[in-house]
Amino acid sequence: MANKVWINNSIEDLNKAAAANIADILSKAVRLRGAANLALSGGSTPMGLYQTLSQDYYRELIPWNKIHFFWGDERCVPPDHPESNYKQALDHLLSHIPAILENIHRIKGELGPDEAVSDYIQVLSGFAQGKYPWPVFDVTLMGMGEDGHTASLFPGTVEPLETVTPVIQVNAAYQDRPSRRITLTAAVFNSSRNIIFLVTGEKKAKTLEIALSDRRDPVNFPVQRIKPTHGNTIWYLDSEAAKFLKER
């Protein structure tokens, strides 16, 4: 399936391009299947994209009342905590669009890791699709850390559980962010129809070059574990993040 890279100098234009693509995919999915599944990411990068998607134009264009919202990962904090990925999406997107409350399926980080994991496995199983005991996401939004982590899949080890269960708990220090986290596993991400990576800034340039190279090192660069089995991957990059990428 397609693996595309989209590079733009301006982050604003990058967000516009990603938003237009997401709108297109979600609208088509709703036309085809009556509803669509969107998995959101955390981190600071998607904030501008969320704001773009909440503008009037996309509010009209996207059938938000038919979209189910999930998260790729969450920190073990309450939903009103400034480090909550849910809160970020709520503040910058969900509270500005006509989303349906029952269609917002957040990871309940405040329950603590064990309970939050079993709760989310249960939630996902309510949307089992085909052979998967979890929903197939029409769009999965993902970011990448400077160390090559994505969602909360961090470098160093592949937890044995990671290959057998859709949701795991993780303890990982990154910048000053909460270290106790819950994440979907690569198999869930890889069943997505479309994965959209948004990566910006010079600090990520070296890691990005490795991430997109043929040098396979998925243990140390977890972002390389993300390869949808049947879906597309689209990388939205600013020129700073993309500065070590060769002409492709």
- Positions that interact with ligand 6PG (CB under 6 A): 41-45, 73, 85, 143-145, 149-151, 177
CB 202 within 8 A of CB 240: yes
Pick between residue 58 and residue 86 the one whose CB is nearest to ligand 6PG. Answer: 86
d(CA 18, CA 89): 16
Pick between residue 23 and residue 89 the one whose CB is nearest to ligand 6PG. Answer: 89
Pick between residue 73 and residue 138 the one whose CB is nearest to ligand 6PG. Answer: 73
d(CA 160, CA 153): 13
Which positions ≥6 away from 34 have C-beta within 8 Å? 66
CB of 119 to ligand 6PG, least distance (A): 18
Selection from 216, 236, 232 nearest residue 224 by Cα: 216
CB of 33 to ligand 6PG, least distance (A): 26
Pick between residue 83 and residue 119 the one whose CB is nearest to ligand 6PG. Answer: 83
Residue 58 sits at φ, ψ, to 5 deg, of -80, -25
d(CA 240, CA 224): 20
CB of 29 to ligand 6PG, least distance (A): 23
CB of 154 to ligand 6PG, least distance (A): 9
